[in-house]
């Protein structure tokens, strides 16, 4: 595994698949060759002071070092954008987030867990519960009713 160092590589990865997590955003892009996977790390100044940004970057590097050996695909570039939550989030949860994010950017099933919701038809107007208070009120138009034109009228001067 190699590191991304050039700005153009970071910008190219931005156009690939994205998987946001509480501690970071993982971006991935296929390069089109069979070289080893490359990983880049970035943390914006919005995250905090230089000390905090460096700590986030070190945590992200360690997450990749511990869990990426067999998960990252050859011929792909990955960029991890650190978020402030990476400072306080438990490390084992960050590792689990990384594993799930890699699966999402590659379109793999997430494994056991909460099933994705089944698609449902939108409820019809008949399916809405009846509100007896609405019988005497005119229908609400969201505040966009047609009001008469109230231009100032010209007054005759004395």
Task: Identify the pLDDT of residue 68.
Answer: 76
Is the domain 2-105 a CATH 2.40.128.20 member? Answer: no
Q: Which of the 8 DSSP states describes residue 84?
A: G
Rounded Cα distance, 96 and 22, in Å:
11
Task: Identify the pLDDT of residue 69.
Answer: 72
Q: Which residues pair with 28 in a beta bridge?
A: 17, 78
Task: Identify the pLDDT of residue 48.
Answer: 94
Distances (CA, A) of 18 to 31, 63, 104, 158: 15, 18, 8, 72
Q: What is the mean pLDDT of the chain?
A: 82
Task: Identify the pLDDT of residue 108.
Answer: 67
Rounded to an integer, the average pLDDT of 53-82 is: 92
Kindly state the percentage of the chain with pLDDT values over 70.
68
Q: How confident is the model at residue 67 (pLDDT cuts 50, 70, 90)?
A: confident
Rounded to an integer, the average pLDDT of 34-59 is: 95
Q: How confident is the model at residue 147 (pLDDT cuts 50, 70, 90)?
A: low
Q: How confident is the model at residue 32 (pLDDT cuts 50, 70, 90)?
A: confident
Rounded Cα distance, 71 and 78, in Å:
12
Name the residue with higher pLDDT: 83 or 145. Answer: 83
- pLDDT of 83-115, one tens digit each? 999 999 999 999 999 999 999 998 866 555 555
């Amino acid at each position: 595994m190699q590191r991304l160092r050039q700005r153009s590589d970071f910008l190219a990865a931005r156009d690939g698949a994205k998987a946001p997590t509480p501690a970071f955003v993982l971006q991935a892009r296929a390069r089109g060759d069979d070289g080893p996977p490359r990983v880049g790390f970035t943390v914006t100044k919005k995250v905090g002071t230089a000390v905090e940004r460096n700590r986030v970057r070190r945590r992200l590097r360690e997450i990749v070092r511990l869990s990426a050996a067999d998960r990252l695909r050859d011929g792909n570039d990955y960029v991890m954008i650190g978020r402030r939550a990476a400072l306080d989030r438990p490390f084992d949860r960050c590792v689990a987030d990384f594993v799930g994010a890699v699966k999402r950017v590659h379109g793999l099933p997430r494994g056991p867990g909460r099933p994705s919701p089944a698609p449902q038809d939108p409820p019809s107007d008949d399916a809405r519960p009846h509100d007896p208070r609405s019988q005497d009120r005119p229908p609400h138009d969201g505040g966009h009713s047609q009001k008469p034109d109230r231009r100032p009228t010209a007054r005759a001067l004395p």
